[in-house]
Amino acid sequence: MNENELLQIITEYFKEKIFENHKINALKTHSKLKSYKINPIIVKYLSKILEDNFTPLGIAKALYYPRILGTSINTSFGTRIQNMFVELNLANGSLIKGMDIEFIDKVDNRKKWCQLKSGPNTINSEDVNPLLKKFTTVTNLARTNSLNMNNSDLILGVLYGEESQLSQHYKKIDTQFPVIIGKEFWYRITGFDNFYDKLVSNLDLMILNLDTEDFFKQGYIALSREIEASNLFDFK
């Protein structure tokens, strides 16, 4: 498969599996009141700052906005990309606990065991030691089983961003195990040097031409109707 073919396939994968799926979930799941655990005090306050009133629409927006604009899409992003690498035969699912994928590094031609992270600020300080422990456990297991593995073969792959953007938490991990981010990571997994930059350009163009069908508004309007019909709040 050449570079342009792979770019087209991955761009279409983003559109169908991430963006279209986000739309489907917004309308089928996140527009339903039963999908939320509600803090009645906080949502009343959020309704007030969103609509300057305590209304079904304000409550709906307070619940729906963070779910659709944050949690929903971000949670699915990493999982979908992991599945994509496997489905497109760019990697295999890892058989080693704690690793997400295994692939042949197109730069040094060595097998890499990789845990995936989305972006340069997606771990916290409390994540660092568990990650280091997990990686160390894998290296010890490799030695026990006489696998041809060294520390540089265990990597933390960060899907987007630049090295200069990496948080101090990632930099601490990088002192023991390589943290490979953005352009370099996509080069290692695809074998095409400028693949990441071209993919970002393709995705920008595709996103600008998406027909959203106003699904975002449809979702919170449907949710507000459920809220108005429920007995959870007294709007009188």
- Judged by DSSP in three states, 70 sits in helix
Quote the percentage of the chain above a pLDDT of 90: 81
- The closest alpha carbon to 30, from 225, 222, 211, belongs to 222
What pLDDT shows up at residue 138? Answer: 85
Phi, psi of 31 (to 5 degrees): -90, 5
236, part of any domain: no
Instruction: Measure the CA–CA gap between 187 and 225, rounded to whole angstroms.
Output: 48
Instruction: Measure the CA–CA gap between 17 and 38, rounded to whole angstroms.
Output: 29
Taken in order 123, 129, 134, 135, the sign of the CA dihedral is positive
What pLDDT shows up at residue 86? Answer: 97
195, part of any domain: yes
Please report where in the chains the tokens 């917004």 appear, as a residue: 26
CATH number at residue 80: 3.40.1560.10
Q: Which range has the worst mean pLDDT, 51-55, 81-85, 119-123, 141-145?
A: 141-145
- Tallying the residues shown for the chain, one arrives at 236
Position 146 confidence tier, pLDDT thresholds 50, 70, 90: low
108, part of any domain: yes
What pLDDT shows up at residue 16? Answer: 95
Please report where in the chains the tokens 């073919």 appear, as a residue: 5
234, part of any domain: no
User: For the residues 183-188, what does the mean pLDDT come to?
Assistant: 98
What pLDDT shows up at residue 76? Answer: 83
Domain extent at residue 225:
3-229
Taking only the tens place, the pLDDT of each residue in 80-111 is 999 999 999 999 999 888 899 999 999 999 99
The answer, yes or no, to whether residue 150 has pLDDT greater than 90, is no
235, part of any domain: no
Looking at residue 63, its amino acid is L
10, part of any domain: yes
The answer, yes or no, to whether residue 214 has pLDDT greater than 90, is yes
What pLDDT shows up at residue 71? Answer: 82
205, part of any domain: yes
Taking only the tens place, the pLDDT of each residue in 154-176 is 999 999 999 999 999 999 999 99
Taking only the tens place, the pLDDT of each residue in 188-204 is 999 999 999 999 999 99
Average pLDDT, the chain: 93
Instruction: Measure the CA–CA gap between 30 and 219, rounded to whole angstroms.
Output: 7
Q: Which range has the worst mean pLDDT, 3-12, 118-127, 143-152, 167-176?
A: 143-152
Burial level of 231, CB count in 10 A (0-12/13-18/19+)? exposed
CB neighbour list of residue 119: distance below 8 Å, 6 or more residues apart:
158, 159, 160, 161
> For the chain, how many structural domains are there in total?
1
pLDDT greater at residue 96 or residue 209 = 209
What pLDDT shows up at residue 1? Answer: 84
Position 144 confidence tier, pLDDT thresholds 50, 70, 90: confident
- The alpha-carbon radius of gyration of the chain (Å, integer) is 22
The answer, yes or no, to whether residue 143 has pLDDT greater than 80, is no
191, part of any domain: yes
Position 148 confidence tier, pLDDT thresholds 50, 70, 90: confident
Q: Indicate the pairing of strand 101-104 with strand 154-158.
A: unpaired
Instruction: Measure the CA–CA gap between 154 and 114, rounded to whole angstroms.
Output: 6
